[in-house]
Amino acid sequence: MLTINKDGTPSYNEVNYVLHELEDSRIKRHILSGIITDMEVSDIGAKNTNCRVRYKNQSVLIPISEMGIELSNNDNGDEWVRKTQILSKMLGAVVDFIVRGIDRDDPDDIHIVASRADALRKKRFEYFTSNDPIFDIEKYDKAEARVIAVSQQSARLEICGVELTLPMNELFWSWVADVREHLSPGDVIPVKILDESVDEEGNIKLRVSGKEAVKNTAALALKKIHAGNKCVGVVTHIEENQPVFIRLENGANAIAHNSRVNTVAYPGDIVTLAINDINEEKQTAVGVITNVIKQNKEF
């Protein structure tokens, strides 16, 4: 139905306009982007899991087999169970897709199916392997990375169609106890491209660093710390027969070989550290834990 606005101009149905964009994606293989809002777990096996992506006012279904989730050689167990676990951490992430089909049989219940894998392949081709690739490491040593999923010790990133997992020590200069406290699916962060290569099977491999794309704030903060200071910090890591790793309140990194309190410090605990040395080579302060101010209730 054609309706007229108060100013006399035609009023176009928004749903039809969005469907036109989706149809255009199907015909011309244009890449669209949306937010993962739901994961539909199947009763007949993880391989039949689907996710829903919101594109403007339309819901787009993407089967897990079309999500383009690649597993590393370290991933053990059932392939589809592992991919489902990764997908569950991707809720809220922004992802690209290309529409595969639109079912308009029922105007009140339109079904749209798409492929993220198609979009990733197209982006990799355009950025890296076409005759005139967009990305040239000699021109661009930095890029924006989408945060796709986050775990305690790492983040899964998508960079120009290439997915990779970056450990916490390559994400931040300052030590952290849990990456999930600092990054979420849907975030965009800068990364430095350290190396680009293509393996024998034609797969694009990127070696990147998140922290090297920004200033070393931990080193700058360390310059404000001196032997004899007492500082507040949060425990980020503990390991048997190893020092306690601490991020000081100002962002400097520190280690404690000893403690003057009987309470064991755990990750997330807030402690007081008496500084007795600065290790310039390792860019850390060295001290002794003198007090546990607040314990992490998870331990």
Q: What is the pLDDT of residue 15?
A: 56
- Report the pLDDT averaged over residues 231-242: 92
Say how far apart CA 241 and CA 228 lie, in whole Å: 25
| Residue at 231: amino acid letter | C
In this predicted structure, what is the pLDDT of residue 102? 95
pLDDT of 244 reads 95
State the Cα–Cα distance between residues 171 and 167, nearest whole angstrom: 7
pLDDT of residue 187: 97
Report whether 151 contacts 89 (CB < 8 A). Answer: yes
Residue 26 neighbours by CB distance under 10 Å:
16
**Which of the pair, 188 or 3, is modelled with greater confidence?**
188
Nearest to 145 by CA among 132, 127, 125, 118: 127
Q: State pLDDT tens for residues 92-109.
A: 999 999 999 999 888 888
pLDDT attached to residue 14: 54
- Which residue in this structure is represented by tokens 């087999």? 65
The pTM of this model reads: 0.86
Residue 3: per-residue pLDDT: 60
Q: Confidence band (pLDDT; 50, 70, 90) for 258? A: confident
CB 121 within 8 A of CB 129: no
Average pLDDT over all residues of the chain: 91
Q: Shortest CA distance to 251 belongs to which of 216, 288, 275, 289?
A: 216
Rounded to whole angstroms, the Cα distance separating 126 from 230 reads 53
Residue 139: band (very low, low, confident or very high) from pLDDT cuts 50, 70, 90: confident
Task: List, in order, residues 6 or more apart from 287 with CB less than 8 Å away.
Answer: 231, 254, 255, 256, 273, 274, 275, 276, 277
- The pLDDT tens digits for 148-202 are 999 999 999 999 999 999 999 999 999 999 999 999 999 999 999 999 888 877 7
Distances (CA, A) of 160 to 86, 120, 126, 129, 177: 20, 8, 9, 12, 29
Which spans in 148-280 are helix H?
217-222
Q: Which of 23-37, 63-77, 203-217, 284-298 has the lowest mean pLDDT?
A: 63-77
Q: Kind and range of the H or E element at 297? A: none
Residue 89 near residue 101 (C-beta atoms within 8 A)? no
**pLDDT in the model for residue 214:** 96
pLDDT digits (tens, 9 = 90+) for 8-67: 665 655 557 899 999 999 999 999 999 999 999 988 889 999 999 999 999 999 999 999
Q: Classify burial at 92, counting beta carbons within 10 Å of its beta carbon; exposed 0-12, middle 13-18, buried 19 or more.
A: middle
